[in-house]
């Protein structure tokens, strides 16, 4: 109950500009790729995946938060999922990545937050995991916490994320539609010189290709030359990397993007790493610059019961595991699915975000009317949109 009260208090402080309803990209006629989305066009189309946010908006300086992605609603330490972390550019503070790639397992919720809040958030995540029934004897936890730098709009040095905030994000995680834009870990982020944030999308393969679902959630805070379905939107809007010799500080290419990928396809850690690598192709389609100071990471996991990793007793530890996974030859359609879902999730993070002010700065939301005009001019959406 305390966590629920905290969530209500936090959101009661959110100004109207943070809660106004803006359409998603697909609602304005932006159709990305050839594969169909899932029913919600969200990471939660992958069965069992839950998403929660804690949004912190206080005074004129705090614009930050936490976003939690749970591969399933049970005790992740006792029922781990196979996972992998792919590094596009390693300028970041992604806690827990080395053990994930060493063992191929994810044993905690995946948390996204602000750069300087990673250590505290990881500590609070450990608190949460140790408190779960069944973990009374646990002496090692590998918290998986990723970040982007929201210091342009947020008092990042204040490290405002608290234990209650972390617990609230995890405990509020749910299935169904995912709140996007200027929420959770995306409250204070900037992408392509416009307001970034949280975005999500999914793709559903036909039954002839396995019928699997791939879902993606992104935290966008990076720069480049915004491109939507191939149209030079950033250039035509006059806001992009290197314009006016970097005279606009809000449009630096530095920042970060975190891409979280879920699938119900039975993939092992090796093929999840390959899947995560393809997310960078979706990122590139949006015009990302991949700069020196941008931490570009993809975290992938499978929810399939066939590859779930459960505790073994002493006798079982010395016998081979019987695990059913997809063959390499079946992976290519999933690669396309993650490319398309990543691209659309990034667009949704921009389309859904709202103009935000903080620390004496204002970052405008992507102007949707002008964006639609540009896309219509290039023949990328119909005349009635």
- Catalytic positions: 256, 294, 296
d(CA 314, CA 225): 55
Show the DSSP H helices in the chain as ranges.
2-12, 97-103, 118-131, 163-171, 233-237, 269-285, 332-352, 368-377
333 touches 205 (CB < 8 A): yes
Q: Is 184 helix (H, G, I), strand (E, B) or coil?
A: helix
What are the backbone angles phi and psi of residue 247, rounded to the nearest 5°? -75, -15
Q: Which residue reads 């994320």 in tokens?
A: 161
Burial environment of residue 311 by CB neighbours within 10 A (0 to 12, 13 to 18, 19 or more): exposed
Query: Helix count (H) and strand count (E) of the chain?
Result: 8, 14
Helix, strand, coil % (nearest 5) of the chain?
A: 35, 25, 40
User: What HEC string does 115-164 produce?
Assistant: HHHHHHHHHHHHHHHHHCCCCCCCCCCCCEEEEECCCCCCCHHHCCCCHH
CA atoms 190, 195, 198, 199: torsion sign = negative
195 touches 180 (CB < 8 A): no
Q: In what order do the strands lie in the sheet with 144-148?
A: 50-58, 62-70, 110-114, 144-148
């Amino acid at each position: 109950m305390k966590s629920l009260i905290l969530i209500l208090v936090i959101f009661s402080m959110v100004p109207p500009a943070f809660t106004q309803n803006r359409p998603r990209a697909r609602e304005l006629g932006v159709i990305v790729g050839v594969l169909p989305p899932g029913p919600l066009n969200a990471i939660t189309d992958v069965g069992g995946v839950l998403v929660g946010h804690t949004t912190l908006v206080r005074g004129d300086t705090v614009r930050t938060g936490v976003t939690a992605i749970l591969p399933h609603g049970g005790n992740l330490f006792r029922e781990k999922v196979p996972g992998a972390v792919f590094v596009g550019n390693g300028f970041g503070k992604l806690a827990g990545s080395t053990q994930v790639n060493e063992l191929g397992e994810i044993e905690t919720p995946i948390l996204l937050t602000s750069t300087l809040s990673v250590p505290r958030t990881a500590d609070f995540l450990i608190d949460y995991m140790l408190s779960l029934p069944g973990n009374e004897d646990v002496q090692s936890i590998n918290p998986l916490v990723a970040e982007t730098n929201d210091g342009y709009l947020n008092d990042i040095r204040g490290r405002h994320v608290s234990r209650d905030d972390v617990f609230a994000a995890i405990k509020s995680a749910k299935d169904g539609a995912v709140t996007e834009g200027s929420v959770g870990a995306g409250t204070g982020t900037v992408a392509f010189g416009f307001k970034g944030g949280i975005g999500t999308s999914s793709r559903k393969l036909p039954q002839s290709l396995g019928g699997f679902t791939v879902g993606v959630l992104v935290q966008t805070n990076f720069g480049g030359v915004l491109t939507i379905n191939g149209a030079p939107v950033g250039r035509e809007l006059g806001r992009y990397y290197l314009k006016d010799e970097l005279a606009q500080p809000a449009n630096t290419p530095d920042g970060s993007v975190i891409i979280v990928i879920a699938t119900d396809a039975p993939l092992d850690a090796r093929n999840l790493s390959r899947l995560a690598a393809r997310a960078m192709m979706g990122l590139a389609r949006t015009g990302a610059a991949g700069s020196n100071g941008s931490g570009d990471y993809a975290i992938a996991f499978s929810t399939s019961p066939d590859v779930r990793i459960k505790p073994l007793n002493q006798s079982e530890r010395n016998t081979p595991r019987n695990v059913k996974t997809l063959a390499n030859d079946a992976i290519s359609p999933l690669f396309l699915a993650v490319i398309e879902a990543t691209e659309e999730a990034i667009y949704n993070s921009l389309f859904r975000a709202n103009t935000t002010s903080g620390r004496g700065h204002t970052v405008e939301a992507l102007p949707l009317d002008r964006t639609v005009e540009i896309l219509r001019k290039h023949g990328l959406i119909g005349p009635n949109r």
